[in-house]
Amino acid sequence: MKIIMLGAPGAGKGTQAKMIAKEYGVPHISTGDIFRANIKNGTELGMEAKKYMDQGLLVPDELTVRILLDRVAQEDCKDGYVLDGFPRTIPQAEVLDQALAKLGDRIDYAINVDVPDENIIRRMSGRRACLTCGATYHIEHVPPKQEGICDTCGSALVLRDDDKPETVKNRLEVYHRQTQPLIDFYGKKGVLRTVDGTRPMEEVFAAIRAILA
């Protein structure tokens, strides 16, 4: 069972990816995690990627796919995996498809967690973080006992720059321009499945389980 998670930043696809991984006993693979692991372990692929990252450049698609294929060739991926954060663009999806086809393999499902932009802006701008102990809250869904104060350590809570409405709007614009075309790409391949990401987390997961059943 080889799954790609699609959805805008803040749609909750990462949370769902972790839940799928736990439920079905397959690895949750984030490209950011793979890059960090390869660089930390000093692998040949990691050192090659680091050259680009140190210059502030994007790692080329072909190298990213090579690092990804190296990861999915490992023993824990024999029953499948959940990809989170890759592919982000049509060229990446095409390179991945070609590489998997050479191995006689393919993606089984591309699951799109669909949430309207206005919901995402509200969801993310309601987040609050404690920079002292790392605890996170949401002013609507998981509020602290005392407004603006961390329950755990008593430090002041902040709205991180990443979660400010103007930053979220910019990230959504990039998503719609670069990543949303993947929905059409996987739709044409017949592997796209869309779930309503505005529903409670457990209901979204139930919908995904029904797709994978």
Q: List the catalytic residues.
A: 13, 88, 127, 160, 171
Give CA–CA dist 54/150, Å, rounded. Answer: 35
Specify the 3-state DSSP secondary structure of 149: strand
Q: Which amino acid is at 106?
A: R
Q: What residues are paired with 83 via a beta bridge?
A: 4, 29
Give CA–CA dist 88/185, Å, rounded. Answer: 12
- Nearest 5°: CA angle at 186, between 79 and 20? 35
How many CB atoms lie under 10 A from the CB of residue 12?
22
Query: For strand 157-158 and strand 136-138, is the pairing parallel, antiparallel, or unpaired?
Result: unpaired
Specify the 3-state DSSP secondary structure of 174: helix
How many CB atoms lie under 10 A from the CB of residue 25?
10
Residue in this structure with the two tokens 């669909």, named with its chain if needed: 114
Give CA–CA dist 180/170, Å, rounded. Answer: 14
